Structure 1
Amino acid sequence: MMKYINPFIILLWVVLVAGCIKENRDDCGRCTLRFSYVGDGTTEIFQKKIEKVNLYVFDANHNCIVSRTLKQNELSTQSISLELSPGTYRAVCIGNAFEATVITDVNCGNYKDIHCTHPCCLSGDIIHSNDSLYQGSKEFAVPKNRELTETIPFSASHIDMYVEVKGYIETAARSTSPLKLEVNNLSTWVNFNNEVTDDELATYYPLSDVEKQSYVYRFNILKQTEHPCLKLYDSDNKEIFSMQLADFLEKHPEINIDKNETIIPILIEFKSIGVEVSIPDWAIEDVKPEF
């Protein structure tokens, strides 16, 4: 008798966790969630910008009932189909959550308290950059025994930073120790309402490339520009330059930080008369990246 009961119990458990048991399966609705990102235009660019999606579906009580990770090879249709019982739901999607992102407290019951952050914020290690994060969310109602298609629009949670340093020459003995850029007072948390929070501020240490006698730093920050301060240090760890990001943006209103695809290009030049800060030549006419 025991040899018969055990498989039956296992089968019953599988059916129950499927979300819609056999007796009520006719009540379930097939819901297709479609992902969309058009940047700052009207043309679909989801495939160009987003390579991975973490999908979370919450019920009316804010319980997370679906958690899926969709990699690039699973996003060719930009959609996923789910069978859900009739009711109201909210889907939240995080795009491009790779090694520089962890998602916390998905079962805390409050979207404002569910966050994406850099794992080094939790470990205390050095932060170089954020991932190129995007977020989408949609509330929807699943009807009884009907198919439903909902489109989830994505928006950017990050800003691309480009900092180029020209004209600074060190002795050959120090050439193995390049300039160090620090960006202080950066927000490191964005919640499931796509709101950047200032609960904890951190310092980023972007990595540099040497290009034609220039130091170039390319990195991402979250969409918060009020507090950050950029500082340059030489090989002796002596501060040689400091600038408030908000002051730079005030002088260059052509940089629209409210856009989805925002890049902040900064050129720092050491000259005989002092240090000049401007926008690089390639960004003078158009400071927004290609759609």
Structure 2
Amino acid sequence: MKYLQYIVLTLFVLVLTNSCIKEDFDDCNNVTIYFQYLADGDKDVLSDYMTKVDLYVFDEGGHIKGVGTYHEDELKKFAAIPSFKLQPGKKYKVVAVGNAYDATKVVNVEATSFSDIYLQSPEWGDSDKKVTNHDDNYLGQLEFTMPEQEGTMYRDTVTLYSAHVDVEIEIYGLPSPSEKSRQSSEILYELSIQNSNAQCSFENEINTDEKGTIYPDLIYDDTKKCYRTDGFRLFRMDDQFNNHNGVESECCEHTLVLRDLTASEEAAPIFTGRLYNYITGNEKVEELVVKQEAVLPIELQFHNLQGEITIPEWVVVDGEPEWN
């Protein structure tokens, strides 16, 4: 278990004797869990990044006991609402999953090891569907022992950590949709990321044995005169709890592929490039990718139909994305 994930924030731990308003204490909740996210600073900014947190509760043996959901209003107010009842004197583990929406599915939740429970896209493994994106997920976990005394309210805080990378891809030098086809404004290029990380465990670790292809949507930006992604995310590419030296090769086997959909199916892609080589070959890019609020900026320039990955100008100038 990783010490960063199991950190017990003593400043936030509070055990209070609480008189239940009901005669039978068995009907009363006795646990309140709060959440925090520090991003790349030292202040809680969770409500700036998360609008929903699902809390999975496990007994000491790792068996699932239940799931609760905290919504935006509760997260913003840091509401001290007792959320469930647990047995006094027993040990428990909880895992918080941030922003698990339509692009997130939790699989194998009956497993008794957090390293075998995964976040993934609902479309992974379905040959009839393409994966197009991931949610901006966050993960955190906590172990604790309930007070022995009946009628005691236990309060604690789970710290969450990023499980994703925001990927911004801009493609210059290709004909616009209207230039490409006079009959349609349809995007006639297909972008894909092959060997993409398909699963992230409840330990917030990449399952390096499970890879797949993701097909982010492309839009054409008339202002910038480029094709680009919008709100595209991948699972992380570093081992943030064991290795702070940068991107790990096993976690970053991604290959960027761009195809011209007007060409024959047998035609070669118009561009292919390994993301690991690009990231590790550019120090400023790698620094952005290993942050909590990780960003992977990619600019693909075409000259005479020859493509080249370059670093966006904002990375070279000040290392901060223009949308921050």
TM-score range, shorter chain: 0.7 to 0.9
Q: Which residue, 280, 287, 294 being the options, matches 1:262?
A: 294
Indicate the residue corresponding to 2:87 in structure 1: 85
**Structure 2 residue identity aligned to 1:39:** A
Provide the rounded CA distance (Å) in 2 between the counterparts of 1:168 and 1:29: 60
Matches within 5 A, 1:110-149: 110-124=113-127, 125-145=129-149, 146-149=152-155
Separation in 1, partners of 2:78, 2:204:
21
Equivalent of residue 275 in structure 1, options 303, 307, 323: 307
| Number of equivalent positions | 270
Structure 1 residue aligned with 2:109, among 106, 109, 112? 106
Flag the structure with higher helix content.
Answer: 1
Contact 1:31 1:148 in 2 (8 A): yes
Q: CA deviation at 1:106?
A: 1.8
Residue type at the aligned position of 2:69: T
Alpha-carbon distance change, 206 to 274 in structure 1, aligned in 2, over 3 angstroms: same
Contact kept in structure 2, 1:264 and 1:287, CA below 8 Å: no
Deviations 1:175-222 (A, max 9, x none): 634321111001111111111102321111110111132000131110
User: Is the contact between residue 180 and residue 188 of structure 2 (CA under 8 Å) also seen in structure 1?
Assistant: no
CA contact (8 A) 2:167 2:233 kept: yes
Instruction: Tell me the distance in 2 between the aligned counterparts of 1:171 and 1:36.
Output: 48
Question: Could you tell me which of 188, 194, 216 is aligned with 2:228?
Answer: 216
| TM-score, L = length of structure 2 | 0.76
Whether the aligned pair in 2 keeps the contact of 1:60 and 1:88 (CA below 8 Å) is yes
Larger Rg: 1
Query: Does the 8 A contact of 1:53 with 1:95 survive in 2?
Result: yes
- 2:322 and 2:140 map into 1 onto residues whose CA distance is 21
> Is contact 1:261-1:288 (8 Å) kept?
no
- Decide whether the 8 Å contact of 2:188 with 2:262 is kept in 1: no
The answer to whether the 8 A contact 1:104-1:115 is kept is: yes
Identity %: 26
Q: Distance in 2 between matches of 1:251 and 1:287?
A: 18
Structure 1 unmatched ranges of 5 or more: 1-21
CA contact (8 A) 2:270 2:305 kept: no
Matched residues in 1 for 2:158 and 2:68: separation?
Answer: 15
Amino acid of the residue matched to residue 165 of structure 1?
A: I
Deviation for aligned residue 1:25 = 4.8
Partner of 1:12 in structure 2? none
Give 1:128 shift.
Answer: 0.6
SS of the residue corresponding to residue 210 of structure 2 reads strand
Q: What amino acid maps onto 1:113 in structure 2?
A: D
Q: Is the 8 A contact 1:185 1:201 kept in 2?
A: yes
Counterpart pick for 2:274 among 244, 263, 273? 244
Offset at residue 35 of structure 1 (A) = 0.2
**TM-score calculated relative to the size of structure 1:** 0.84
Give the gaps of 5 or more residues in structure 2.
Answer: 1-22, 238-250
Note if contact 2:169-2:300 (Cα within 8 Å) is conserved in structure 1.
yes
- Structure with the higher strand share, 1 or 2: 1
Distance 2:106 2:291 in 1: 24
| Structure 2: distance between partners of 1:78 and 1:118 | 29
